[in-house]
A and B are shown apart, each in its own frame.
Chain A
Amino acid sequence: MSDFELSRRRFLQMAGSSAAALAVAACVPSVPGSEEGDPMVEVRVVSHYAQGLTPRERLETDRWDPPSALWDLEAAYKETHPNVDLEFVESVSSGYDEWMVTQLTAGTAPEILWYQRGWIARDYEKNWFNNLDPYLSQPNPYVEGYDSWEDTFQGPVIASGTAPDGHIYLITGDIVGTGFFYNKTRFDEVGVSVPDIWSDYLGVQQTLADAGTTPFSVSYHLEGGTPLYGSWTTRVFQDVLYDHKMAQISGGAPVSRTWKPGEGLQPPVMVRAIRDGNYAATDPEWLEMLRLMKEWSVHYPEGFWALPSEDVFRLWAEGDAAVAWLGSWMNKPVRNDPLIDFEWGIFPKMPTVTTTTSPYGGLGFPAMAGVGGVFQYITTAVAQERGTLDDTIDWLQFLTAPPNLISALNDHGGFAPGVKDTTGADPTLSVYTDMLVDFGAERIEPFDSMLTREFVDAMWRNLQQFMAGELNVEEMSVTMQREMEMASQQLLNEHPDWAEA
């Protein structure tokens, strides 16, 4: 609650200054608050599917306070916007694809929808959601000291919502951090410590295995495991291994780990790189990634490609595995589990692959943090038809004002703020934001949003087979190269303008 009090005070402070900002910035959508008190004004409803942030009451079996910050923020918002009603759509934990696709197809979707950046390339031309550039380029009336709304976010965080046409359609406000959660007690018993470099790390794992402990808990189950762990692994490895080729792939300047909107390796860039042979699954760098992954997997649990992803945590919590690849969303479950009877910690960073391990090594890994968790929202096109788009944008601007965003994320407890000003963020969460600041974000995302959804699935299918030993390195790289060429050719056919930068 104290977090909320804080955000409320700060909100009131800001409300005053934002009124002034409004008067100046005429382009900013009108804030309906100016009409308050007029009984004739119709109340407009903005409905918001907030996914994990959807507020709910605490139940008896809850081990910690469930998310409720949006109710508090709603109350604060209503004080200045009495003619806007907010409606939080109940969380949909299964069948979300069907729900989203049908609602968007029929135009019955809420104004604000939780969405993932990997879907943007598939949907951005369908006129399902709005280009937010006009709003992002203007100041956020609820934030002082920044030239634009866009500028209040960490570069790669807001840039992740960019579509192949260069416009931003998705407001991303948070960071999902991942980390190697290790069993300190077990590490001490076996006499190993957190390694700095990859070759030491393989040694630590061998020692743990020799002592009868599974060294690393991870899953490549196709339902849950591969899309998560396969995605993170390939991203961070390729960021390191392809570092020297970044300029060649981008067809211009090398991409930095603090890339900003327009600098990322968007599908059109990747399609050209694949066409011109600057990026291929048969590259030595690609093969090197496969070699490293395979070498590492010796220490994964037996049958890890069939391990239900829920068991990744279970193996570790029961003490069967010494390290588990978990993340910020497990913050509360881990801290509120009285049955975890060992001391634990998180690797401060992923051990570096040095040049002795790999000819393409040497550079430290980027942050093991991805952008976008619970706070990735699109504004649907129907908001415009319903005449609620301005209210929708205003509510999002209010929500992303750092104190408000941080109070919502602290309250949820599983995701770190993706804004520049992290004052007041829960330290167990801000560690992930710091990681992003210190190590930067990965620049290349080989699968999730590189080409088509069909390609993503093909990748996971084949990666699972490769990791399970059904495909060898050659077969894997040849198959993936073929899939890559097919998908990029398909995209080129659909978007002839992508052929030239």
Chain B
Amino acid sequence: MGGPTRVLLFPDSPDAVTETLATPLETRSVATPSLVSRIRQYQVAYLWLAPTFLLLFIFNYYPAASALYHGFFQWNGANVKLWVGISNFVELWSDVLWWESFRNLMILTVALVAINLTFPLGAAALIFHLWNLRMAYFYRVLLVVPMVVPGLVILMIWKFIYSPNIGLLNQTLALVGLENLQRFWLGDFQLALYAIIFVGFPWVAGIGTLIYLAGFQAIPTELLDSAVIDGASVRQRFLFVELPLILAQIKLVVILTVITAFQNFTIVLVMTAGGPGTKTLVPGLHLYKTAMAYNRMGYACAIGTVLFALTLILTYLNHRYLRSSVEFSGA
């Protein structure tokens, strides 16, 4: 363990970390003891976890379980609460809006994952490759600052950037003689969803870039040095040395992106309300409308349950098939 140990922000499994990086505090038990005695042996661990789980049970698991449970009810948020079995889920299967919104969500998720695998990664790589350390630090600071402003006000500004008549985008295009590129953006039935995706361009400010930078900086110096000595070009170094070594970070970013894409509907609510037509409707907004405008709480809970299950499956698949660089982690 001569070189620096590195942080695995999202290790393959919790066990992987302890096996490769840290050995458990208590290692005396050599023979395989019974489960009961092992639990007793670790009572202090359970005791220390108690505050966390106490709070989680009251404020997180209970409301979540209540919501999932109500997916099996016809519930209006007031005086009607009838057990209807799986009929909410059956209805969801034939709900045109659900499928429309799901289709949009898939496009959105793929696009956002693609974006988060390129722009923030590129920015992080560029910063990492700067020789001037002071400037590198300066850029990192710069990328953190936008995180303090509430997203809502930024969305309002983007809405006006896209306005078809006096929006900044179309006006700028006219100014530089590119009138033929003018569009109705959020009103274009083919482009609207992509206009939503484009919000936040160039997508480099925020946690993604910082997570990638963490990965780059944790790469053992010896590996980079030897690559240079072997005569690797910058491109080769990036593709064959650096990239494989930050797979764990990539995986983390992908998971966070998927989770955000599945849950966030504020952007659509503020900018298009799902329009034009249903072109930017997402399941989160469908859920929100169903609960808050139609007061069909039971059905809303069913939508939420399905969304939760889908996120869980996607996270698992990502976890399973995007193999991380755990073999390097002991370097």
Contacts and interface: CB of A to CB of B under 8 A. Distances in A.
A45 interface: no
A470 B276 contact: yes
A315 B166 contact: yes
Interface in B82-120: none
Nearest to B195: A306
Interface stretch (B4-12, B155-163, B209-217, B311-319): B155-163
B301 to A, nearest CB: 14
Given A105-B77, A311-B165, A465-B276, A306 B293 contact: no
A223 B270 contact: yes
Contact of B164 (A104, A125, A307): A307
A314 B77 CA distance: 40
B187 A303 contact: yes
Contact of A302 (B184, B189, B276, B293): B184
B275 A98 contact: no
B189 A303 contact: no
B185 interface: yes
A101 B76 CA distance: 10
Nearest to B187: A306
A307 B165 CA distance: 8
B165 A301 contact: yes
Interface string B255-279: 0000000000000011111111110
A48 interface: no
A98 B292 contact: yes
A223 B271 contact: yes
Contacts of B291: 101
Nearest to A456: B293
Given A125-B79, A302-B164, A470 B277 contact: yes
B186 interface: yes
A308 interface: yes
A122 interface: yes
B162 to A, nearest CB: 7
Interface string B163-186: 111100000000000000000111
Interface in A99-143: 101, 104-105, 122-123, 125-128
B237 interface: no
Given A128-B78, A464-B277, A457 B187 contact: no
A296 to B, nearest CB: 18
A476 to B, nearest CB: 11
Contact of A301 (B76, B80, B164, B289): B164
A302 B164 CA distance: 7
A461 B184 contact: no
B196 to A, nearest CB: 12
B325 interface: no
A221 interface: yes
Contacts of A68: none
A462 interface: yes
B241 to A, nearest CB: 47
A98 B159 CA distance: 23
Contacts of B187: 221, 303, 305-307, 468
A105 B289 CA distance: 16
B271 to A, nearest CB: 7
Contacts of A320: 165-166
Interface in B275-292: 275-278, 289, 291-292
A413 B76 CA distance: 37
A123 B289 CA distance: 15
Contacts of A245: none
Given A303-B184, A314-B166, A468-B187, A222 B79 contact: no
A143 B159 CA distance: 48
A320 B160 CA distance: 17
A471 to B, nearest CB: 8
Interface in A447-501: 452-454, 457, 461-462, 464-465, 468, 470
A452 to B, nearest CB: 7
Contacts of B163: 306-308, 311
3 closest Cβ pairs, A-B complex: A306-B187, A303-B164, A222-B275
Interface of A: 97-98, 101, 104-105, 122-123, 125-128, 214, 221-223, 226, 301-308, 310-311, 314-315, 318, 320, 452-454, 457, 461-462, 464-465, 468, 470
Given A301-B165, A308-B159, 13 more contacts: A125-B79, A128-B78, A221-B275, A222-B275, A301-B164, A302-B164, A310-B160, A454-B294, A461-B277, A464-B277, A465-B277, A468-B187, A468-B276
